[in-house]
Chains A and B, each alone.
Chain A
């Protein structure tokens, strides 16, 4: 049975997914959930495909009402989650009854949280992704009264005694800190910065308020390019660290323009891009040098952790009958027939 979510207080929220991976070759940024680990975890906890559309709620309080029974999961930055006024755990599946209000308040320590609904919500797609693209004006930004169609309903699952939390799936949550350490590998143009490249590792940087999904701007002591030759436009990776001005370091995130003409000093690892997605203006950032094989190993360890979570979720949900197609229960053939 399908129903809908009615947005009562949008804050700063959009419907997104893991990103538009076919975009860059057409000149479009990949975009998608900025903290990929948290977004993927939310979808796994809601027994969805990793790439299913989900809500990204940035910084501000958010409230919505469900018109049908649902199962949801909220991950990302620490916050207060209430359903029908009851406080509920983050990073676990949560039952919502038809008519109840789901509120996300006081996002602290980080910046972005993710709300996935079992069965997902409907959203328009471009090149196979619903991720908003602010440059071409595509995507679903939520406003008061927006109605999101949900694709599946799940009857209430409650612990009969004292309404204790029902699930304890035990995923190790990422750390959220106002002093983040960010892993980077050498960029392809590191030599252009000569000895000043080392400054990146000896400086504490401060996240500027001008940071967004396109890139973070960091204030601090800046490495300086030693050459002045014109650089032809070329593809730049997510996580590229550039020094476009005398004032700030620019760290490109998932909304970055695909091509640019600045030398790439260093590249933030996939895991640390998730950490940066949670950095608030004023937070302190220091950089640590790593290698591509180490970064890959860390990324794969995180994926393995999520895969373990997925198998726990699917076992438990199968026992509870969540995620089965509605219809007659399968009948065991009568003995002897």
Chain B
């Protein structure tokens, strides 16, 4: 979030008695993303009685609050105040950190790699090359457990989800679906295609923050061999710079 463009116009929707959905509605997806994340940061920093927090994703922001303390109307006014502030002062700039993630591709580590290659009509090597070629922007923290949600690799086609989602995907699973990419921080059910696995520990429930990255940080994947997996096991994912 180094750039601090002016916020885009937003629409605000009621989402029950304890939340509002704020949607940035311009044609510029990058500006929409930057708007909802700067607004989340502003709400967080400014703080208001009864506002629990904000969950920004791509073009939308969920603001949660305690209806015993504040109300949808008051929170809406608070959001509009935040937007006016950002209009004048811009969002605080934060230098993106970079993470390098070692991945064992295919085999038992990436059971869907061949299927994905077949669907894209590419070789397994080409899929790995495309997946490791790009520097990914972490767009948001998603379910489960602070997963880094990223725009996907430059594959020719969107990746279909599994018809039968797995009941259990291991922690460290490196997966793709649609035009998105992700690492699973914790064991969870999942319908995304798992193409590899990182031996690094992504989620550390004993430390705060639980995951080391924030939206706006950059992430690259690099291929390692199965015999190297054990060398990395137990190490925590840390920013390279």
Question: Interface of A with B (CB < 8 Å)?
Answer: 21-22, 24-30, 126-127, 133, 135-138, 185-188, 230, 232-240, 257-260, 264, 267-270, 292-293, 295-296, 299-300, 303
**Once the chains bind, are B18 and A260 in contact (CB under 8 Å)?**
no
Q: How far is the CA of A303 from the CA of B68 in the complex (A)?
A: 7
A187-B209 in contact given A27-B141, A259-B57 (Cβ < 8 Å): no
Q: Is the CB of B178 within 8 A of A230?
A: yes
**In B23-68, which residues have CB < 8 Å from any A CB?**
40, 44, 52-62, 64, 67-68
- Contact between chains at A235 and B149 (CB < 8 Å): no
Docked-complex contact B15 and A21, CB < 8 angstroms: no
In the complex, which range does the number of interface residues on chain B fall in?
Answer: 35 or more
CB distance from B232 to the nearest CB of A (A): 21
A163 to B91, CA, bound (A): 66
Q: How far is the CA of A135 from the CA of B54 in the complex (A)?
A: 21
17 A-B Cβ contacts within 8 A?
Answer: A22-B52, A24-B62, A25-B141, A26-B141, A27-B143, A27-B147, A127-B208, A188-B14, A233-B57, A235-B60, A259-B140, A270-B16, A292-B72, A295-B16, A295-B17, A296-B72, A300-B67
CB contacts (< 8 Å) of A299 on chain B: these are 17, 67-68
User: Smallest CB-CB separation from B182: which chain A residue?
Assistant: A233
A295 adjacent to B67 (CB under 8 Å) = yes
The A/B interface has a contact count, at CB < 8 Å, of 150
Contact A237 B16 (CB under 8 A): yes
Which 4 pairs across A and B sit closest by C-beta, in order of nearness? A235-B62, A257-B143, A267-B16, A235-B55
Pair A27/B15 contact, Cβ less than 8 Å: no
| Residue B144, interface by CB 8 Å | yes
A28 lies within 8 A of B72 (CB): no
Determine the distance from Cα of A230 to Cα of B178 in the docked complex, in whole angstroms.
Answer: 9
Are A24 and B53 in contact, with the CB atoms below 8 A?
yes
B61 proximity list for chain A (CB < 8 A)? 235
Task: Assess the B18–A238 pair: CB atoms within 8 A.
Answer: yes
Known: A25-B40, A27-B145, A137-B186. A235 touches B57 (CB 8 A): yes
Q: Closest B-chain residue to A184, C-beta based?
A: B16
With both chains docked as a complex, state the minimum distance between the C-beta of A239 and any C-beta of chain B, in angstroms: 5
Asked whether B145 lies within 8 Å of A126 as measured between CB atoms, the reply is no
Q: In the complex, given contacts A22-B53, A24-B52, A188-B13, what are 17 additional A-B residue pairs having Cβ atoms less than 8 angstroms apart?
A: A25-B54, A30-B52, A127-B210, A135-B145, A136-B185, A232-B59, A233-B149, A234-B58, A235-B21, A235-B62, A237-B19, A237-B21, A238-B18, A258-B142, A270-B18, A295-B16, A299-B67
Residue pair B58, A232 in contact (C-beta under 8 Å):
yes
Q: A321 to chain B: closest CB distance in Å?
A: 31
> How long is the Cα–Cα vector from A300 to B17 in the complex, in angstroms?
11
**Closest CB-CB distance, A219 to chain B, in whole Å?**
20
Cα–Cα distance between A111 and B160 once the two chains are bound (Å): 39
Pair B209/A188 contact, Cβ less than 8 Å: no
Are B53 and A268 in contact (CB-based, < 8 A)? Answer: no
Contact of A185 among B14, B56, B180, B209 (CB under 8 A): B14
> 8 Å CB contacts to A: which residues of B199-241?
203, 205, 208-211
Closest approach, in angstroms, between the C-beta of B165 and any C-beta of chain A? 11
Bound complex: CA of A195 vs CA of B209, how far in Å? Answer: 45
Chain B residues with Cβ below 8 Å from A27 are 141-147, 211
Least Cβ–Cβ distance between A215 and chain B, in angstroms? 12
Name the CB-closest residue of B to A19. Answer: B52
**Contact B142–A24 (Cβ < 8 Å):** no
Q: With the chains together, A278 CA to B56 CA distance in Å?
A: 31
Asked whether, in the complex, the Cβ of B188 is within 8 Å of the Cβ of A28, the reply is no
Return the contact of A25 from the options B17, B44, B72, B147 (Cβ within 8 A).
B44
The distance from the CB of A20 to the nearest CB of chain B, in whole angstroms, is 10
Q: How far is the CA of A24 from the CA of B180 in the complex (A)?
A: 21
Tell me if B142 and A267 are in contact (CB < 8 A): no
Q: Evaluate contact between B55 and A259: CB separation under 8 angstroms.
A: yes
Q: Quick check: B52 and A126 within 8 Å, CB to CB?
A: no
**Is B100 interfacial (CB-CB < 8 Å)?**
no
CB distance from B133 to the nearest CB of A (A): 24
Residue B135 CB within 8 A of the other chain: no
Nearest A residue to B59 by beta-carbon distance? Answer: A232
Which residues of A sit under 8 angstroms from B142, Cβ to Cβ? Answer: 27, 233, 257-259
Q: How far is the CB of B42 from chain A (nearest CB, A)?
A: 13
Q: Point out which of A188, A235, A268 has the most chain B C-beta atoms below 10 A from its C-beta.
A: A235
Instruction: Establish whether residues A185 and B141, one from each chain, have CB atoms under 8 Å apart when the complex forms.
Output: no
- Indicate the member of A26, A30, A257, A300 with the most B CB atoms within 10 Å: A26
With A135-B188, A233-B58 in contact, do A28 and B140 touch (Cβ < 8 Å)? no
Q: Are A237 and B58 in contact (CB under 8 A)?
A: no
Tell which of A28, A235, A240, A268 touches B210, judged by Cβ atoms closer than 8 Å: A28
- Which residues of B (91-135) have their CB < 8 Å from a CB of A? none
